[in-house]
Amino acid sequence: MLVALVALAALSGAANGQQSTKDSARPIKLVAFGDSLTAGLGLPLASAFPAKLEAALRGKGYKVDVVNAGVSGDTVADGLARLDWSIPQDADAVIVELGANDALRGLDPKLARSGLDEIVKRLRQRNVAVMLAGMYAPRNLGPDYSAQFDPIYPDLAKAYDLPLYPFFLDGVAADPNLNQADGLHPTAAGVGIIVARILPTIEALLTKVSAQRS
């Protein structure tokens, strides 16, 4: 009987060790959850933000799969409505890039704030790491609107202790050489700049995820 128990324990330990090794070997699943800026409107999929981000991360040695969960035209409310089925159950981390369409349409910033807050809460309940990619309101909406909209992302990042990239279009916005004809969506070169600038924040996120998995 004792021999059988020892053998069973050894088998169990070996199985657990194999499972642990398998889990650590599994690539981190990082979901880019956003609107057309994530989806890559007007670009081939290989030139969209998720694909270029995955290539950049793998080029630096990270074992990561980046999922494109961007839907063109989505507001924060639209993203919240599809959150549960858009984020795979095995997701390790999510970059939330939403709010640009809320600002372009002049929607009440309180709606964007409450929607993003709920998105963060639901993802954290699933033990998914979250990073916020921020947005600034168009200045033609006036200083009052900007004063309500712009702080949404840093406020939520502080409240939930989240990594924050303050402005997703940093270095690209309003540059005709880096945007498509509509002046709103980056070219492939523009996406490349976004990836290069956002990379350190995402690397910090992946380091956190790896520590939690070890």
Summarised one tens digit per residue, pLDDT across range 83-134 is: 999 999 999 999 999 999 999 999 999 999 999 999 999 999 999 999 999 9
Q: Does the structure show a pLDDT above 90 at 18?
A: no
> According to the model, what pLDDT value does residue 5 have?
34
- Mean pLDDT for the chain? 91
Is residue 101 helix, strand or coil? helix
> According to the model, what pLDDT value does residue 2 have?
36
Sequence-distant (≥ 6) Cβ neighbours of residue 28 within 8 angstroms:
62, 63, 64, 65, 92, 93, 206, 209, 210, 213
Residue ranges covered by each domain of the chain:
27-213
Q: Does the structure show a pLDDT above 80 at 72?
A: yes
**Which amino acids are annotated catalytic?**
36, 182, 185
Cα 42 to Cα 184: distance, rounded to the nearest angstrom: 11
Q: Does the structure show a pLDDT above 90 at 188?
A: yes
- CATH number given to 27-213: 3.40.50.1110
> According to the model, what pLDDT value does residue 17 have?
41
Which one has a higher pLDDT value, 160 or 16?
Answer: 160
Strands 93-97 and 64-70: unpaired
CB 116 within 8 A of CB 156: yes
Which one has a higher pLDDT value, 16 or 25?
Answer: 25
E strand or H helix at 31, and its extent? strand 28-34
Q: How confident is the model at residue 16 (pLDDT cuts 50, 70, 90)?
A: very low
